[in-house]
């Protein structure tokens, strides 16, 4: 399945979050992403990328932000010298949806 070729769909909160079984099914299509649980007991996708310096981390974050704007789906980002952390969930449903996996797949397409 080529998730990076799909388009994120805005969520208005009228769908249930993915079950653990659905999450595990789509996780197979991603590289090095982990499923975490936040303080609200919601699943989210998380990945840390490593870089050789601050400028490369910032460049990556800028590319991620461009994709997020194009898709209308925005991850939580943290970065510093040599790293960038991307956390994704659908806030409207406090959990994961197909759009989260699509966005993660598009981020995976960025050359690092």
Q: What is the pTM of this model?
A: 0.93
Mean pLDDT of 25-46: 96
The DSSP bridge pattern shows strands 34-37 and 76-80 to be unpaired
Please check whether the domain covering 17-108 is classified as CATH 1.10.1370.30: no
76-112 residue pLDDT tens: 999 999 999 999 999 999 999 999 999 999 999 997 6
Closest CA to 36 of 78, 88, 79, 110: 88
User: Domain-by-domain residue ranges, the chain?
Assistant: 17-108
Residue by residue, DSSP assigns 6-54 as S------S-SPPPPHHHHHHHHTTSSS-EEEE-TTS-EEEEEEEE-SSH
């Amino acid at each position: 399945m080529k998730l990076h070729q799909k388009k994120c769909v805005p969520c208005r909160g009228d769908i249930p979050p993915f079950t653990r079984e659905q999450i595990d099914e789509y996780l197979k299509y991603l590289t090095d992403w982990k499923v975490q649980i936040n303080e609200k007991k919601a699943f989210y996708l998380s990945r840390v990328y490593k870089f050789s310096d601050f400028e490369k981390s910032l460049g990556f974050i800028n590319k991620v932000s461009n994709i997020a704007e194009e898709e209308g789906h925005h991850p939580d980002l943290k970065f510093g010298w040599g790293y960038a952390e991307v956390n994704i969930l659908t806030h409207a449903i406090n959990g994961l949806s197909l759009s989260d996996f699509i966005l993660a797949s598009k981020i995976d397409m960025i050359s690092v």
